[in-house]
Structure 1
Amino acid sequence: MVKNKLDFYRKCGNRYVSSLAVGGEFSAVIDIETNSETERSDLRSTMSVVATGYGSASASYAAAMQKISNSYQKNIRIIRNGTGEAIPSLTIDSLVNYSLAFPTKINAVTGAPMSLSYADYQTIDPSIETYRDQEIVVSGMANQFGDFFELLGDLDYYSKHRTTGSFYPPLGDDELQRYRGELSVATINAKLAFNACVEDPGRKCTLASFPAVTINAPRPAQQTSLDPKSGAYQPVGTAGKGENKTVIVIGSWSAWDNGENLWWPPERCCFEIRIEGEEGPPVTKPYTGPVKFTGPARVSVHIGDSTYGDNRGRGLAAIVY
């Protein structure tokens, strides 16, 4: 029985190695040099025969192997894990035969370590405290650490490239300095929270102790001018697989001329956003503010009641970032 559960955790962790998987790996990389297109074509045909009959006893396979062995300049490299026996001779025939027999050479003695399996200490002694909930908290903290450093990287990139490209949302020097200061303080506090969690997981391991920072760091943006006279959906940007992006519409817009020249922001009127993925029907929604979407997808904007010429020259554009 463990008398001091916290001391045991600090010294031994919350899991132990329960098993070790051993195995082997053998690869032979053969570089073959050719001097003409005729030789390359001939080699492709020969390799096709080898690939089809690999390891067989067919006459065509044997002839193809013999041709490769005798007809081309070669460089052979070996990669092997497992077994301590001598490397076979560097001929193609011997390497093929060795690779076919290699699995039989691997056992508990000759195999190399490939992977570890872990088990909870409670499988040995149910009274041991393994702090499983705290392990989840630590994983969450690690993810948030990554988010902090990613934000710092985004801010550094923006500060060095903001004059050479389009970014959104734009930041002034004061905002940039303030965000950097917030992240620096948050990173220090995050380390303190993490150390406290490791030191006393029973009482001090909670995500509530981890600092929360909300910063919308500028990202490279694609800006597309919108034609107010077009009644079609106008493509404005794309997102690659797994990318999370946002589309906004800027400028001002009026659906009628009432003599007072009242211009509205796009989110107050008749704009639509259409998101088309690789699968399923397009998703169309009224534009009421920033719209988030995940790739692979492309996004288009439709301007409502586009027959009015007074919307030209009002800076209508879509930004995808």
Structure 2
Amino acid sequence: MTPLILTAQEGGERLDAFVAGQVEELTRSAAQRLLEQGAVTSGGKPLKKNAKTTPGMVVEVLLPDPQPVEIVPQNIPLDVVYEDSDVIVINKPVGMVVHPAPGHPDGTLVNALLYHCGDSLSGINGELRPGIVHRIDRDTSGLIIAAKNDRAHLALAAQLQDHTLARVYEAVAVGGFKEDSGTVNAPIGRHPVDRKKMAVDPKGRAAVTHWRVLGRYSGCTHLECRLETGRTHQIRVHMAYLGHPLLGDTVYGAKKPVPGLAGQCLHARRLRFLHPATGQPVELECPLPQWFVNLPIFRQNQN
């Protein structure tokens, strides 16, 4: 196992909190266990969990090998928008995690797909993510496509790369936009301090988001966002980079939740792809969910 090398930017933070904040897959309790096991060191010496960081401190974390996980099919209702022998498209609700992860071992879209599809899911992404071609965040709703066989998965993955698989979102961003449309072309990488977040980073991977205004309201703007690339949290990061974080986004915007919102106001509205078997275009759309259309801003007069 190759240790992870972490560098503390500031001093005074407890090591268990620092390690958990830097390593995405670790909770604070898991970081504490690693410290107790002597798996977190600095200069070759094991560190104690109640020790604190110093500026520039280099910490090595030896993560255990992942243990096999059995994903259990679960009879969870799915809003199926399209399905055939090659692909299935789901309108995912807010709050549903796409695939099992630490803290979310079940109740995920993958658990539901395994029950709905049986053995008819692509195995390319392994046991934890069977059939999953792309992801959307837990608190983002809308269209997500899964592949039922490896041939379909490879074809859809190639479309993600060449942009023939197109995804269009609707969102509400905080503040007003001077222009009616625009493009954010800013690379995205892991946040340099908070490893659970993403950030615009010149050394990150290319990321392009096209946006246009659908409506202007008091303090907010209704947007359409079209992804040219598919980086983690891309729309959320790009809108925050513009100074207009998404309404309800407590990670990249205001820390106070918005009443009526479980998270960021973001919905995957439309999906277009070439069918992996026939090559014919498939265009799908799902309506805005009630929590979106019931926002108070839509009851105000448009500016």
TM superposition score normalised by structure 2? 0.28
Higher normalized helix content (fraction of residues) = 1
Larger Rg: 1
TM superposition score normalised by structure 1? 0.27
